[in-house]
């Protein structure tokens, strides 16, 4: 028997990413693991779900990550779709909208796409 625990994204600038996820999606740090070579930071949604987003920062890395075709994404639902859209438009992070499906995507500082869905 398995259950989802977290998804991982590698980030180039940990502080920039933490700021983005806090401002864009209200995610907050729930746990951190520091090692000499890397830092793992787990973000949660305030207990609305048990799922977490793990940000991995490889210390000393300066080259952006190659995301390939970037078909992988993480999806977030919101009870205030219009308010979320307005927030993300103001932040300038909306990268794709599919109005026919009623969804849109935002992009994080490392180029990862995050799907935004109405509840």
Q: Answer whether 116's CB lies under 8 Å from 105's CB.
A: yes
Per-residue pLDDT at 71: 77
> What is the rounded average pLDDT of the residues 5-33?
97
pTM of the complete model: 0.91
Banded model confidence at residue 106, pLDDT cuts 50, 70, 90: very high
Q: What mean pLDDT is reported for the chain?
A: 95
Delineate the domains of the chain, giving CATH numbers in brackets. Answer: 6-61+72-118 (3.10.180.10)
pLDDT digits (tens, 9 = 90+) for 22-80: 999 999 999 999 999 999 999 999 999 999 999 999 999 999 999 988 678 999 999 99
Identify which of 86, 81, 32 has the alpha carbon closest to the alpha carbon of residue 54.
32
Q: What is the pLDDT of residue 52?
A: 97
Round to whole Å and give the CA distance between 50 and 1: 17
């Amino acid at each position: 028997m398995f259950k989802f625990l977290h998804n991982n994204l590698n980030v180039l600038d940990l502080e920039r990413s933490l700021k983005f996820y806090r401002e864009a999606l209200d995610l907050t740090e729930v746990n951190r693991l520091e090692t000499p070579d890397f830092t793992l930071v787990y973000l949660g949604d305030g207990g609305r779900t048990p799922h977490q987003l793990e940000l991995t920062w490889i210390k000393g890395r300066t080259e952006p990550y190659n995301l390939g075709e970037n078909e992988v994404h993480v999806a977030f639902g919101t009870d205030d779709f219009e308010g979320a859209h307005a927030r993300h438009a103001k932040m300038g992070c909306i990268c794709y909208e599919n109005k026919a499906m009623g969804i849109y995507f935002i992009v994080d500082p490392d180029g990862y796409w995050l799907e935004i869905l109405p509840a």
